[in-house]
Amino acid sequence: MFGKEEGTMNLKIGVIKGDGIGPEIVTEAMKVLDKTAARYNHTIEYTQLLMGGASIDVNGIPLTDETVASAKACDAVLLGSIGGDAKTSPWYQLEPSKRPEAGLLKIRKELNLFANLRPAVLYDELKGACPLKEEITDGGFDMMIMRELTGGLYFGDRKTVCEDGVMTAYDSLTYNENEIRRIAKRGFDIAMKRRKKVTSVDKANVLDSSRLWRKIVEEVAADYPEVTLTHMLVDNCAMQLVKDPRQFDVILTENMFGDILSDEASMVTGSIGMLASASLNETKFGLYEPSGGSAPDIAGKGIANPIATILSAAMMLRYSFDLDEEADVIEAAVGEVLKKGYRTIDIMSEGKTQVGTAGMGDLICSFI
Ligand code: NAD
């Protein structure tokens, strides 16, 4: 990973451009990575990988074992988006296990990506898109939702039975202490790179799994004396996200609560084209992707917003390569371009200058 010169690195990045707007937005993120690498004398070795519909077209399946092996040989993977229009694309004539989305589930499982990170950032310049009142969001907000991704209710035993003539369905929510400890450690590590505040969200007044969650999170917190830990019940958290989102730094929570809260948090930022995400495993490896989908309605038109993918690339530099300064530079460049009034169509408002996908990528590069 380290280059010949002191402080320089050779970054081995897997690239899955994917389907729809994927190739367009990933191209811009690569431009920004290249510009940043050049400024700091790093080198980047890209490995192009096929997944989703693009892989079905070539290999007949959405993700091959060879692609998984190539992804594992990289330090991190940048993903655009996968999938097509479910009504018109031939990919959706295939059985569910062969459709584009199955590739995404498989790669997450194969790479053991148990920690999902979704930043919800409201830029002051885009506050018009936020559905909350201005006095609540004045100055913007910046939080990170850290969601456990491979345990809990979505992976527990389930069954539907008929008992005494009554249909009854069961889903079980199980966590063991090791699963909680590894995500908690990741959450505190990430808080150390931010404002050093963790809000652990649970339902410890009702659920045993939440009581264990709280106990283990407290144990982990003891190793991070600089980080302030608070606990919050999930119902209260859902309220606080719209009442006072500025109070949050890292929100650490289990799978289902995180699923719901991360969507709520992203909604209050107002724009899908701005939302980055990362999924990490126990090593430094991560899969970085925009939160949005492949947007088949605008694919090929050169108008998609590449910022979510560019910010995902910045997260990659920060969390997989510990290149915090380089990540800061990219994030600041995005802020600068917004401040200067440039917008893609999805975040366009009166009096601003509209640019396309490549134009936005070029502008961000110009501030690096
Ligand atoms: P979508 O996120 O692709 O699109 C929803 C709306 O947001 C559309 O109007 C789209 O034009 C817009 N949009 C999304 N990203 C944008 C961007 N960067 N710039 C400007 N506008 C943007 O969601 P969908 O339409 O429900 O799904 C389309 C396809 O994407 C489906 O096949 C779905 O399965 C897939 N999908 C993939 C991922 C992924 O790869 N992780 C995630 C979600 C959906």
- The model's pLDDT over 69-95, given as tens digits with 9 standing for 90+, comes to 999 999 999 999 999 999 999 999 999
At position 192, the amino acid (one-letter code) is M
- Atom 6 of ligand 1 has which residue's CA nearest to it? 295
Residue 328 clears pLDDT 60, i.e. is over it: yes
Ligand 1, atom 5: nearest CA belongs to which residue?
A: 295
Q: Average pLDDT for residues 254-273, to the nearest whole number? A: 89
Q: How confident is the model at residue 266 (pLDDT cuts 50, 70, 90)?
A: confident
Confidence at residue 161, expressed as pLDDT on a 0 to 100 scale: 96
Nearest of 112, 146, 133 to residue 249 by alpha carbon? 146
Residue type at position 216 = I
pLDDT of residue 139: 82
Q: How far is the CA of 24 from the centre of ligand 1 (A)?
A: 13
User: Does residue 1 carry a pLDDT above 80?
Assistant: no
Question: For ligand 1, is residue 286 a contact (CB within 6 Å)?
Answer: no
User: From the CB of 298, is ligand 1 less than 6 Å away?
Assistant: yes
User: What would the pLDDT profile of 34-81 be if each residue is shown by its tens digit?
Assistant: 999 999 999 999 999 999 999 999 999 999 999 999 999 999 999 999
Of 81, 149, 291, which is best to mutate to test ligand 1, by the most ligand atoms within 8 angstroms of its C-beta?
A: 81
CB atoms within 10 A of CB 182: 17
Paired tokens of 22: 């994927």
Q: Is 293 in the pocket of ligand 1 (CB under 6 A)?
A: yes
356 lines ligand 1 (CB under 6 A): no
Cβ–ligand 1 distance for 137 under 6 Å, the answer: no
Ligand 1 site, residue 28, Cβ cutoff 6 A:
no
Closest ligand 1 atom, residue 296 Cα: 28
Per the model's pLDDT, the better-predicted residue between 96 and 117 turns out to be 117
Beta-bridge partners for 45: 12
> What does the CA dihedral 130, 132, 135, 137 come to, rounded to 10 degrees?
-50
Q: How confident is the model at residue 126 (pLDDT cuts 50, 70, 90)?
A: confident
pLDDT over 80 (residue 317): yes
- Domains, the chain, ranges and CATH? 1-116+273-368 (3.40.718.10), 131-268 (3.40.718.10)
| CB contact set of 6 (below 8 Å; sequence gap of 6+) | none
Q: How far is the CA of 293 from the centre of ligand 1 (A)?
A: 3
**Residue matched to tokens 């440039």:** 342
Residue with tokens 């402080």: 7
Instruction: Give mean pLDDT, residues 255-280.
Output: 90
Instruction: Tell me the percentage of the chain whose pLDDT exceeds 70.
Output: 98
Q: Is 272 in the pocket of ligand 1 (CB under 6 A)?
A: yes
CA of 254 to the centre of ligand 1 (A): 25
Please tell me the distance between residue 153's alpha carbon and the centre of ligand 1 in angstroms. Answer: 26
Q: Stretch 211-221: mean pLDDT, rounded?
A: 98
Give residue 155's pLDDT.
87
- Which helix H or strand E contains 236, and what residues bound it? helix 234-243
Q: Say what the pLDDT of residue 96 is.
A: 87
Q: Residue 121 Cα, ligand 1 centroid: separation in angstroms?
A: 19
Where do the DSSP E strands lie in the chain? 10-18, 43-48, 76-81, 115-122, 141-148, 158-163, 166-171, 197-202, 228-233, 250-253, 276-280, 286-290, 342-343, 353-354
Catalytic residues: 154, 203, 235, 259, 263
Q: How far is the CA of 268 from the centre of ligand 1 (A)?
A: 18
CA distance linking residue 235 with residue 128, whole number of Å: 27
Alpha helices (H) in 40-142, listed in sequence order: 53-59, 65-72, 100-110, 134-137
Give residue 4's pLDDT: 52
